[in-house]
Amino acid sequence: MKQTACFEPKIGTRKLSLQLPDFASEVRVGGMPTEQSIDDMVASALDEPIEFPPLPLALIDDDHIAIAIEDGVPEANSIACALARYLVQHGTRQEMITIVLGSDNQDWRDRLVAELVGQEFCDIKVVKHEPTSQESHGYVGASETADPIYIQRDLFEAEVVLPIYCVRTPESPSASDKYGMSPCFANAATQHRWNLAWLEDNTHHMRRQEKLSHEAGWLMGVQFAIAVVPACDGSIANILGGSPDPVFRKAGEMVRTEGEGTTDANGLVIAFVEGDWTQQSWMNIARAAAHADMQLDTNGSIVICSDIKQMSQGILQLGTDEQDDKLQRRLLNSDLEDAFAASVLCAIKSRRSIYLMSQLTSHQVENLGLAYIDSPVDVEKLCQSASTVCVMRSAQF
Protein backbone atom coordinates (compact mmCIF):
# COMPACT_ATOMS: atom_id res chain seq x y z
CA MET A 1 0.00 0.00 0.00
CA LYS A 2 1.12 3.55 -0.72
CA GLN A 3 1.87 5.97 2.06
CA THR A 4 -1.32 7.10 3.81
CA ALA A 5 -3.40 5.38 1.14
CA CYS A 6 -7.14 5.90 1.41
CA PHE A 7 -8.99 2.61 1.82
CA GLU A 8 -12.79 2.72 1.31
CA PRO A 9 -14.50 -0.63 1.92
CA LYS A 10 -18.30 -0.96 1.79
CA ILE A 11 -19.58 -2.72 4.88
CA GLY A 12 -23.31 -3.28 5.02
CA THR A 13 -24.97 0.12 4.68
CA ARG A 14 -21.77 2.06 5.39
CA LYS A 15 -18.80 3.06 3.30
CA LEU A 16 -15.73 3.59 5.47
CA SER A 17 -12.75 5.79 4.68
CA LEU A 18 -9.44 4.99 6.37
CA GLN A 19 -6.02 6.53 5.95
CA LEU A 20 -3.60 3.63 6.32
CA PRO A 21 0.15 3.87 7.03
CA ASP A 22 2.70 3.19 4.31
CA PHE A 23 3.87 -0.03 5.98
CA ALA A 24 0.40 -1.66 6.05
CA SER A 25 0.14 -4.84 3.99
CA GLU A 26 -3.04 -6.22 2.45
CA VAL A 27 -4.65 -9.64 2.20
CA ARG A 28 -7.53 -10.18 -0.21
CA VAL A 29 -9.81 -13.18 0.25
CA GLY A 30 -11.95 -14.20 -2.73
CA GLY A 31 -11.92 -13.55 -6.45
CA MET A 32 -12.36 -10.34 -8.38
CA PRO A 33 -15.89 -8.85 -8.55
CA THR A 34 -17.79 -9.59 -11.76
CA GLU A 35 -19.85 -7.25 -13.93
CA GLN A 36 -22.17 -10.09 -14.98
CA SER A 37 -25.72 -10.03 -13.66
CA ILE A 38 -26.76 -12.69 -11.17
CA ASP A 39 -29.43 -13.92 -13.59
CA ASP A 40 -26.80 -14.46 -16.28
CA MET A 41 -24.42 -16.24 -13.89
CA VAL A 42 -27.18 -18.56 -12.64
CA ALA A 43 -28.35 -19.33 -16.18
CA SER A 44 -24.79 -20.08 -17.28
CA ALA A 45 -24.20 -22.37 -14.28
CA LEU A 46 -27.35 -24.37 -15.08
CA ASP A 47 -27.18 -24.33 -18.89
CA GLU A 48 -23.50 -25.31 -19.02
CA PRO A 49 -22.79 -27.12 -15.74
CA ILE A 50 -19.53 -28.86 -14.92
CA GLU A 51 -19.54 -32.59 -15.74
CA PHE A 52 -23.33 -32.66 -15.81
CA PRO A 53 -25.96 -32.24 -18.56
CA PRO A 54 -27.95 -28.97 -18.69
CA LEU A 55 -30.11 -29.02 -15.57
CA PRO A 56 -33.52 -28.93 -17.36
CA LEU A 57 -32.64 -32.25 -19.04
CA ALA A 58 -32.27 -33.88 -15.60
CA LEU A 59 -35.66 -32.71 -14.29
CA ILE A 60 -39.07 -34.38 -14.62
CA ASP A 61 -42.32 -32.39 -14.61
CA ASP A 62 -43.54 -33.81 -11.30
CA ASP A 63 -40.23 -33.46 -9.44
CA HIS A 64 -40.45 -31.62 -6.15
CA ILE A 65 -37.38 -29.35 -6.15
CA ALA A 66 -35.87 -28.12 -2.89
CA ILE A 67 -33.38 -25.26 -3.02
CA ALA A 68 -31.14 -25.28 0.07
CA ILE A 69 -29.43 -21.93 0.70
CA GLU A 70 -26.63 -21.94 3.22
CA ASP A 71 -26.42 -19.06 5.67
CA GLY A 72 -23.83 -16.45 4.65
CA VAL A 73 -24.09 -16.78 0.85
CA PRO A 74 -23.41 -13.37 -0.71
CA GLU A 75 -26.54 -11.81 -2.25
CA ALA A 76 -28.44 -14.98 -1.33
CA ASN A 77 -31.92 -13.62 -2.02
CA SER A 78 -31.02 -12.43 -5.51
CA ILE A 79 -29.53 -15.85 -6.31
CA ALA A 80 -32.64 -17.62 -4.99
CA CYS A 81 -34.93 -15.44 -7.09
CA ALA A 82 -32.78 -15.96 -10.19
CA LEU A 83 -32.82 -19.74 -9.68
CA ALA A 84 -36.59 -19.77 -9.10
CA ARG A 85 -37.12 -17.67 -12.21
CA TYR A 86 -34.92 -20.03 -14.26
CA LEU A 87 -36.80 -23.14 -13.07
CA VAL A 88 -40.23 -21.61 -13.78
CA GLN A 89 -39.11 -20.46 -17.23
CA HIS A 90 -38.02 -24.03 -17.96
CA GLY A 91 -41.35 -25.57 -17.05
CA THR A 92 -41.25 -26.19 -13.28
CA ARG A 93 -44.49 -25.23 -11.55
CA GLN A 94 -44.13 -22.81 -8.66
CA GLU A 95 -45.91 -25.10 -6.20
CA MET A 96 -43.24 -27.77 -6.88
CA ILE A 97 -40.46 -25.50 -5.57
CA THR A 98 -39.46 -25.16 -1.92
CA ILE A 99 -36.68 -22.85 -0.72
CA VAL A 100 -35.04 -23.87 2.57
CA LEU A 101 -33.01 -21.21 4.35
CA GLY A 102 -30.08 -22.44 6.42
CA SER A 103 -31.00 -20.26 9.38
CA ASP A 104 -34.06 -19.67 11.56
CA ASN A 105 -33.68 -15.91 10.98
CA GLN A 106 -37.20 -14.57 10.42
CA ASP A 107 -35.98 -11.35 8.84
CA TRP A 108 -34.16 -13.30 6.13
CA ARG A 109 -37.31 -15.30 5.33
CA ASP A 110 -39.51 -12.20 5.28
CA ARG A 111 -37.18 -10.39 2.89
CA LEU A 112 -37.04 -13.35 0.51
CA VAL A 113 -40.81 -13.84 0.53
CA ALA A 114 -41.29 -10.14 -0.24
CA GLU A 115 -38.89 -10.36 -3.18
CA LEU A 116 -40.51 -13.51 -4.54
CA VAL A 117 -44.01 -12.04 -4.27
CA GLY A 118 -42.72 -8.92 -6.03
CA GLN A 119 -41.73 -11.17 -8.92
CA GLU A 120 -45.09 -13.00 -8.87
CA PHE A 121 -43.73 -16.20 -7.36
CA CYS A 122 -46.48 -16.38 -4.74
CA ASP A 123 -46.78 -20.18 -4.76
CA ILE A 124 -43.13 -20.94 -3.94
CA LYS A 125 -42.78 -22.24 -0.40
CA VAL A 126 -40.09 -20.66 1.81
CA VAL A 127 -39.14 -22.34 5.09
CA LYS A 128 -36.49 -21.77 7.73
CA HIS A 129 -34.30 -24.57 8.98
CA GLU A 130 -34.98 -25.14 12.68
CA PRO A 131 -32.26 -27.46 14.02
CA THR A 132 -33.96 -27.95 17.42
CA SER A 133 -37.25 -29.18 15.93
CA GLN A 134 -36.78 -32.94 15.51
CA GLU A 135 -40.14 -33.21 13.74
CA SER A 136 -38.83 -31.02 10.91
CA HIS A 137 -36.06 -33.53 10.06
CA GLY A 138 -35.92 -36.86 8.28
CA TYR A 139 -33.64 -39.77 9.18
CA VAL A 140 -31.13 -40.27 6.37
CA GLY A 141 -29.03 -43.02 7.91
CA ALA A 142 -26.13 -43.63 10.27
CA SER A 143 -22.55 -42.54 9.81
CA GLU A 144 -19.61 -44.93 10.00
CA THR A 145 -19.27 -43.89 13.64
CA ALA A 146 -22.91 -44.95 14.21
CA ASP A 147 -24.09 -41.37 14.72
CA PRO A 148 -27.60 -40.84 13.27
CA ILE A 149 -27.84 -38.37 10.40
CA TYR A 150 -30.97 -36.20 10.27
CA ILE A 151 -31.52 -33.61 7.51
CA GLN A 152 -34.20 -30.93 7.18
CA ARG A 153 -37.44 -32.68 6.14
CA ASP A 154 -38.27 -30.64 3.01
CA LEU A 155 -34.83 -31.54 1.65
CA PHE A 156 -35.21 -35.14 2.78
CA GLU A 157 -38.55 -35.55 0.96
CA ALA A 158 -37.72 -33.70 -2.28
CA GLU A 159 -36.97 -35.58 -5.50
CA VAL A 160 -34.30 -33.03 -6.45
CA VAL A 161 -32.14 -31.05 -4.01
CA LEU A 162 -30.17 -28.05 -5.26
CA PRO A 163 -27.76 -26.86 -2.54
CA ILE A 164 -26.34 -23.34 -2.80
CA TYR A 165 -23.27 -22.74 -0.68
CA CYS A 166 -20.50 -20.16 -0.42
CA VAL A 167 -17.08 -21.70 -0.96
CA ARG A 168 -14.58 -20.54 1.68
CA THR A 169 -10.95 -21.08 2.53
CA PRO A 170 -10.47 -24.54 4.14
CA GLU A 171 -9.72 -23.19 7.63
CA SER A 172 -13.03 -21.28 7.89
CA PRO A 173 -15.12 -22.37 10.90
CA SER A 174 -18.27 -24.20 9.81
CA ALA A 175 -17.50 -24.15 6.10
CA SER A 176 -19.63 -26.26 3.77
CA ASP A 177 -18.34 -29.22 1.83
CA LYS A 178 -19.19 -30.17 -1.74
CA TYR A 179 -22.76 -31.27 -0.92
CA GLY A 180 -23.75 -28.26 1.21
CA MET A 181 -25.93 -30.40 3.51
CA SER A 182 -24.25 -30.94 6.84
CA PRO A 183 -23.91 -29.36 9.33
CA CYS A 184 -25.96 -26.45 7.96
CA PHE A 185 -29.18 -28.44 7.39
CA ALA A 186 -28.64 -31.13 10.03
CA ASN A 187 -30.39 -31.39 13.39
CA ALA A 188 -29.08 -29.78 16.57
CA ALA A 189 -27.43 -32.95 17.90
CA THR A 190 -25.38 -33.31 14.72
CA GLN A 191 -24.41 -29.65 14.81
CA HIS A 192 -23.30 -30.03 18.42
CA ARG A 193 -21.00 -32.90 17.48
CA TRP A 194 -19.44 -30.73 14.80
CA ASN A 195 -19.07 -27.82 17.19
CA LEU A 196 -17.32 -29.96 19.79
CA ALA A 197 -14.92 -31.20 17.12
CA TRP A 198 -13.83 -27.57 16.74
CA LEU A 199 -12.14 -27.86 20.17
CA GLU A 200 -9.80 -30.51 18.78
CA ASP A 201 -6.75 -29.87 16.64
CA ASN A 202 -7.63 -28.34 13.29
CA THR A 203 -6.43 -31.23 11.14
CA HIS A 204 -8.56 -33.76 12.99
CA HIS A 205 -11.55 -31.42 12.95
CA MET A 206 -11.32 -30.85 9.21
CA ARG A 207 -11.01 -34.57 8.46
CA ARG A 208 -13.95 -35.43 10.67
CA GLN A 209 -16.06 -32.61 9.24
CA GLU A 210 -15.33 -33.64 5.68
CA LYS A 211 -16.07 -37.32 6.31
CA LEU A 212 -19.37 -36.77 8.13
CA SER A 213 -20.68 -34.22 5.66
CA HIS A 214 -19.72 -36.39 2.70
CA GLU A 215 -21.72 -39.23 4.22
CA ALA A 216 -24.75 -36.97 4.71
CA GLY A 217 -24.60 -35.61 1.16
CA TRP A 218 -24.05 -39.04 -0.37
CA LEU A 219 -26.93 -40.58 1.59
CA MET A 220 -29.16 -37.69 0.51
CA GLY A 221 -28.35 -38.43 -3.11
CA VAL A 222 -27.28 -34.87 -3.94
CA GLN A 223 -26.13 -34.96 -7.57
CA PHE A 224 -26.04 -31.27 -8.47
CA ALA A 225 -24.53 -28.43 -6.44
CA ILE A 226 -24.25 -24.68 -6.89
CA ALA A 227 -21.15 -22.99 -5.48
CA VAL A 228 -20.96 -19.23 -5.05
CA VAL A 229 -17.43 -17.91 -5.38
CA PRO A 230 -17.17 -14.75 -3.24
CA ALA A 231 -15.36 -11.62 -4.36
CA CYS A 232 -12.80 -9.70 -2.33
CA ASP A 233 -15.32 -6.88 -1.78
CA GLY A 234 -17.97 -9.18 -0.27
CA SER A 235 -19.95 -9.54 -3.48
CA ILE A 236 -19.89 -12.38 -6.04
CA ALA A 237 -17.03 -13.35 -8.33
CA ASN A 238 -18.69 -16.35 -9.99
CA ILE A 239 -21.42 -18.97 -9.67
CA LEU A 240 -20.66 -22.57 -10.63
CA GLY A 241 -23.07 -25.46 -11.04
CA GLY A 242 -22.74 -29.15 -11.81
CA SER A 243 -21.52 -32.39 -10.30
CA PRO A 244 -20.54 -31.74 -6.64
CA ASP A 245 -16.92 -32.97 -6.83
CA PRO A 246 -15.62 -30.91 -9.78
CA VAL A 247 -17.70 -27.86 -8.77
CA PHE A 248 -16.15 -27.88 -5.30
CA ARG A 249 -12.63 -28.30 -6.69
CA LYS A 250 -12.93 -25.52 -9.25
CA ALA A 251 -14.64 -23.12 -6.83
CA GLY A 252 -11.90 -23.79 -4.27
CA GLU A 253 -9.25 -22.87 -6.81
CA MET A 254 -10.99 -19.55 -7.42
CA VAL A 255 -11.05 -18.56 -3.75
CA ARG A 256 -7.50 -17.47 -3.19
CA THR A 257 -5.85 -15.57 -0.38
CA GLU A 258 -3.54 -13.06 -2.03
CA GLY A 259 -1.49 -10.08 -0.99
CA GLU A 260 1.61 -9.07 0.91
CA GLY A 261 0.26 -9.73 4.39
CA THR A 262 0.10 -13.53 4.34
CA THR A 263 2.25 -14.00 7.43
CA ASP A 264 1.67 -14.93 11.06
CA ALA A 265 3.88 -12.15 12.43
CA ASN A 266 1.62 -9.09 12.34
CA GLY A 267 1.05 -6.87 15.36
CA LEU A 268 -2.39 -5.73 14.19
CA VAL A 269 -4.88 -7.20 11.73
CA ILE A 270 -7.82 -5.10 10.54
CA ALA A 271 -10.46 -7.55 9.30
CA PHE A 272 -13.30 -6.17 7.20
CA VAL A 273 -16.63 -8.00 6.89
CA GLU A 274 -17.37 -6.52 3.48
CA GLY A 275 -20.60 -6.97 1.57
CA ASP A 276 -24.33 -6.32 1.92
CA TRP A 277 -26.68 -7.20 4.80
CA THR A 278 -26.34 -10.95 4.10
CA GLN A 279 -22.71 -10.74 5.27
CA GLN A 280 -23.32 -8.82 8.50
CA SER A 281 -23.74 -11.73 10.89
CA TRP A 282 -22.05 -12.88 14.09
CA MET A 283 -20.89 -16.07 12.38
CA ASN A 284 -19.06 -14.00 9.80
CA ILE A 285 -17.57 -11.83 12.53
CA ALA A 286 -16.33 -15.01 14.21
CA ARG A 287 -14.89 -16.28 10.91
CA ALA A 288 -13.15 -12.94 10.36
CA ALA A 289 -11.66 -13.12 13.86
CA ALA A 290 -10.48 -16.69 13.29
CA HIS A 291 -8.79 -15.78 10.01
CA ALA A 292 -7.20 -12.67 11.52
CA ASP A 293 -5.96 -14.71 14.49
CA MET A 294 -3.84 -16.83 12.14
CA GLN A 295 -2.08 -13.73 10.78
CA LEU A 296 -0.90 -12.41 14.16
CA ASP A 297 2.12 -12.70 16.39
CA THR A 298 1.70 -13.77 20.01
CA ASN A 299 0.80 -10.31 21.30
CA GLY A 300 -1.10 -9.09 18.24
CA SER A 301 -4.58 -7.58 18.27
CA ILE A 302 -7.61 -7.81 15.99
CA VAL A 303 -9.87 -5.05 14.72
CA ILE A 304 -13.12 -6.23 13.12
CA CYS A 305 -15.09 -3.75 11.05
CA SER A 306 -18.71 -4.79 10.54
CA ASP A 307 -22.21 -3.36 10.31
CA ILE A 308 -23.79 -5.67 12.88
CA LYS A 309 -26.74 -4.02 14.64
CA GLN A 310 -28.10 -6.58 17.10
CA MET A 311 -26.91 -9.09 19.67
CA SER A 312 -28.37 -12.58 19.82
CA GLN A 313 -28.87 -14.73 22.92
CA GLY A 314 -25.74 -16.74 22.18
CA ILE A 315 -23.56 -13.66 21.78
CA LEU A 316 -24.90 -12.18 25.03
CA GLN A 317 -23.36 -15.14 26.86
CA LEU A 318 -19.94 -13.56 26.25
CA GLY A 319 -20.88 -11.05 28.95
CA THR A 320 -21.11 -13.64 31.73
CA ASP A 321 -18.48 -14.09 34.45
CA GLU A 322 -18.00 -17.76 33.62
CA GLN A 323 -14.45 -19.00 33.02
CA ASP A 324 -13.55 -18.97 29.32
CA ASP A 325 -12.98 -22.71 28.93
CA LYS A 326 -16.25 -23.60 30.71
CA LEU A 327 -18.19 -20.96 28.80
CA GLN A 328 -16.78 -22.14 25.51
CA ARG A 329 -17.76 -25.75 26.12
CA ARG A 330 -21.24 -24.73 27.27
CA LEU A 331 -21.70 -22.65 24.14
CA LEU A 332 -20.59 -25.52 21.91
CA ASN A 333 -23.45 -27.60 23.34
CA SER A 334 -25.99 -24.79 23.32
CA ASP A 335 -29.05 -24.32 21.10
CA LEU A 336 -28.96 -20.54 21.50
CA GLU A 337 -28.72 -18.49 18.32
CA ASP A 338 -25.06 -17.77 17.39
CA ALA A 339 -23.78 -20.01 20.19
CA PHE A 340 -21.06 -21.46 17.94
CA ALA A 341 -19.99 -18.00 16.78
CA ALA A 342 -19.79 -16.93 20.41
CA SER A 343 -17.63 -19.95 21.28
CA VAL A 344 -15.18 -19.04 18.50
CA LEU A 345 -14.96 -15.45 19.73
CA CYS A 346 -14.62 -16.66 23.33
CA ALA A 347 -11.62 -18.80 22.43
CA ILE A 348 -9.86 -15.96 20.61
CA LYS A 349 -10.55 -13.16 23.09
CA SER A 350 -9.22 -15.33 25.90
CA ARG A 351 -5.69 -14.88 24.49
CA ARG A 352 -5.73 -11.54 22.62
CA SER A 353 -7.63 -8.25 22.30
CA ILE A 354 -10.51 -7.99 19.83
CA TYR A 355 -11.71 -4.51 18.85
CA LEU A 356 -15.14 -4.23 17.22
CA MET A 357 -16.50 -1.48 14.99
CA SER A 358 -20.24 -1.93 14.48
CA GLN A 359 -23.63 -0.27 14.97
CA LEU A 360 -23.65 -1.35 18.63
CA THR A 361 -23.03 1.06 21.50
CA SER A 362 -19.83 1.14 23.52
CA HIS A 363 -21.73 -0.27 26.52
CA GLN A 364 -23.01 -3.23 24.49
CA VAL A 365 -19.62 -4.06 22.99
CA GLU A 366 -17.65 -3.74 26.22
CA ASN A 367 -20.18 -5.93 28.08
CA LEU A 368 -19.17 -8.72 25.67
CA GLY A 369 -15.54 -8.44 26.71
CA LEU A 370 -14.61 -6.77 23.43
CA ALA A 371 -12.98 -3.37 22.90
CA TYR A 372 -15.12 -0.65 21.33
CA ILE A 373 -14.17 1.16 18.12
CA ASP A 374 -16.18 4.28 17.39
CA SER A 375 -14.88 5.39 13.99
CA PRO A 376 -12.14 4.91 11.38
CA VAL A 377 -10.10 7.51 13.27
CA ASP A 378 -9.79 5.06 16.19
CA VAL A 379 -8.55 2.39 13.78
CA GLU A 380 -5.95 4.79 12.37
CA LYS A 381 -4.69 5.51 15.91
CA LEU A 382 -4.25 1.79 16.58
CA CYS A 383 -2.22 1.50 13.37
CA GLN A 384 0.18 4.17 14.60
CA SER A 385 1.06 2.15 17.70
CA ALA A 386 1.56 -1.17 15.85
CA SER A 387 4.88 -2.29 14.41
CA THR A 388 3.22 -4.24 11.57
CA VAL A 389 -0.32 -3.89 10.21
CA CYS A 390 -2.25 -6.20 7.94
CA VAL A 391 -5.54 -5.26 6.26
CA MET A 392 -7.72 -8.28 5.50
CA ARG A 393 -10.49 -7.76 2.95
CA SER A 394 -13.65 -9.92 3.07
CA ALA A 395 -12.16 -11.73 6.05
CA GLN A 396 -15.36 -13.76 6.52
CA PHE A 397 -14.43 -15.97 3.55
What is the domain partition of the chain in residue ranges? 5-30+256-393, 38-254
Instruction: For the beta carbon of residue 363, count every other beta carbon within 10 angstroms.
Output: 8
H helices of 90-233, in order, are 106-118, 153-157, 188-197, 202-220
Cα–Cα dist 351/353, whole Å: 7
Tell me the per-residue pLDDT of 121-149, one tens digit each, with 9 for 90 and over: 999 999 999 999 999 999 998 877 788 88
Task: Give 20's pLDDT tier (boundaries 50, 70, 90).
Answer: confident
Highest mean pLDDT among 180-184, 265-269, 314-318: 314-318
Cα–Cα dist 348/59, whole Å: 47
- Taking the model in full, what pTM does it have? 0.93
Cα–Cα dist 133/9, whole Å: 39
Nearest to 185 by CA among 75, 71, 288: 71
Task: Please state which CATH number belongs to domain 5-30+256-393.
Answer: 3.90.226.30
Q: What is the pLDDT of residue 367?
A: 97
Task: Give 369's pLDDT tier (boundaries 50, 70, 90).
Answer: very high
Max distance between CA atoms of the chain, in angstroms, equals 64
Tell me the per-residue pLDDT of 26-62, one tens digit each, with 9 for 90 and over: 998 888 999 999 999 999 999 999 999 999 999 998 9
In 93-204, beta strands by DSSP E? 97-101, 125-128, 137-142, 148-152, 160-166
Which residue type sits at 360?
A: L
Hey, what CATH topology would domain 38-254 get? Rossmann fold (3.40.50)
Task: Give 335's pLDDT tier (boundaries 50, 70, 90).
Answer: very high
Kindly report which listed range (123-127, 189-193, 219-223) carries the lowest average pLDDT score.
189-193
93 membership: H or E segment, kind and range: none
Q: What is the pLDDT of residue 203?
A: 66
Q: What is the pLDDT of residue 143?
A: 76
